[in-house]
Amino acid sequence: MRVAISLSKFYNWDPVPKGVVVTEEDIAAGKVMPGRDGAYRMKVVKAPPGGTEHLVTVSESTLIEKIIEEKSDVRKAGRTLSRRQALAHLLQDNIIPGQFEWDWIKGFAVHDDGPNEELMRSKLELHTKAEHGRRPGRMNVPVEHVEDHVKAYMESTTAADHVDHLHLHFGIKKVSS
């Protein structure tokens, strides 16, 4: 699946100017980070005229892993997610932080190749046999929950359904054409 996120602004990491002293507080606050070259980089906001796009490619395997993570994480109450919900949570938890702010999002476009039931079942099967780390004696995904997960995963979803759900999830008003 490919998601194009239209943005008004984004974060970039530029070299810290010479003479600027980087403090531990700056590092802890996420204002600066060490670069590969050993020099520090600072977080700056870029706002190109007309905005920009951030393209995200999400493998079906990654979507399935997000669904299983949501089920097996006791802090998340063992939710059963659809693909469109998993995509929104994946973007929220793993893609957007550090890249841009929610209120900089202007819209989404999605290309979806559809679900892979065989892959979903094979990954779920592994988790029906894996003991949960925080709940001894219980499996990550109980066998009796597999069909509910497959049903939610296989739910008929178009690219437009994904876009509508992302707009709702991130509070983006749809622009009428």
The pLDDT of residue 131 is: 72
Tokens of 79: 């939710």
Rounded CA separation 162/11 (Å):
25
In a domain, 136, yes or no: yes
The pLDDT of residue 177 is: 46
Domain count, the chain: 1
**Residue type for position 151:** K
The pLDDT of residue 134 is: 66
pTM over 0.95: no
The pLDDT of residue 138 is: 73
In a domain, 61, yes or no: yes
In a domain, 156, yes or no: yes
Nearest-5° angle of CA 105, CA 17, CA 14? 30
In a domain, 34, yes or no: no
Whole domain around residue 68: which residue ranges?
A: 2-10+47-170
* Mean pLDDT, the chain cut into blocks of 10 residues (177 residues total): 95 92 91 89 93 95 91 70 94 88 94 95 88 70 87 93 95 71
Query: For the segment 115-132, what is each residue's pLDDT rounded down to a tens digit?
Result: 999 999 999 998 888 777
DSSP-assigned beta bridge partners for residue 52: 7
In a domain, 19, yes or no: no
In a domain, 38, yes or no: no
The pLDDT of residue 75 is: 66
